[in-house]
Structures are given as structure tokens and as C-alpha cells.
Amino acid sequence: MCKNLILNLALFLVLITALAASDKPSSSQSSRHHGTITSVDATARTVTVKKGNTVTTFIVTEATKVEIPNHKADLTDLKGGDEVYVFYIEKRGEKVAIKIELDTSDDGPPCKVDEHRCNHHECCKDR
């Protein structure tokens, strides 16, 4: 009787742990996508990115980080034509962005604020 109770308890704990782990994405489940933004919909909270002939739409949540070097950024700072890296997970059949990082490797003139190429600071847009 005691063995059955311990065995059932152990099985229950294993099942609970497996269920909890399946809800949390592991780093091995995340993917990276590089391409050009074709549209940003701040109302629907989506970003659509094209790479070659493939167009992919990503869901942007409150937890999604938007990174532009030396610039506090959010979804509204992204625009069509920006080259980005999107780090995402697949959840319930949708691609959910974890982080959207602007690819500044060849993005405009040298920045006046810091040492990178820039079209995102107001002072750099006019050059």
C-alpha cells in the first residue's frame, strides 16, 4: 500500500513537471529569422518580414523586446524597409517574437550620437 502511494506520487510529480515544462519555451525551441520589414501594425501588434519569396508575420507581445542600438525602442520605432533579426517561438501555431533587433550593419550614414550607422535618431535622419 505504501509502495503504491509513493509510486503514484512520483508519477504525479513527473506529469506535473512535464506539463509545466511544455508551457515554457526552452532556448532550443526558439528560432531566428532575418529579413526586411514589409509592414508594422501597431494596432494588431504584428510585424511582417520578407526574406526572399517568404513572407512571415510575427506576433508582438508586451514582453517582446525591440532593440535599436543606443535608442530606447518599441514597436512604433520599426518601419517598412528596416532589416531586422526576429528571435521567436512557435506557440499554438503562431510565431511570437521574443526580440526584434535592428540590423544596423549597413543602415544609413554614420550616427552623430554613437559609432554605428543610423537612420533612427532624429539628428541622423536629416543627413
Please indicate, yes or no, if residue 13 is contained in any of the structural domains. Answer: no
pLDDT tens digit sequence for 5-24: 575 565 555 555 554 544 44
Residues in the chain: 127
C-alpha cell belonging to residue 111: 550616427
- Domain with 52, as residue range(s), is 29-125
Q: Give me the number of domains the chain comprises.
A: 1
Give the Cα separation of 111 and 47 in Å (integer): 25
CB contact set of 49 (below 8 Å; sequence gap of 6+) = 33, 35, 36, 37, 38, 55, 56, 57, 58, 84, 86
Please indicate, yes or no, if residue 57 is contained in any of the structural domains. Answer: yes
User: What pTM, to 2 d.p., does this model score?
Assistant: 0.63
pLDDT tens digit sequence for 95-116: 999 999 998 776 555 555 555 5
Please indicate, yes or no, if residue 2 is contained in any of the structural domains. Answer: no
Helix (H, G, I), strand (E, B) or coil at 69: coil
**What's residue 99's pLDDT?**
96
CATH value at residue 42: 2.40.50.320
* Residues 108/111/116/120 CA torsion (nearest 10 deg): -60
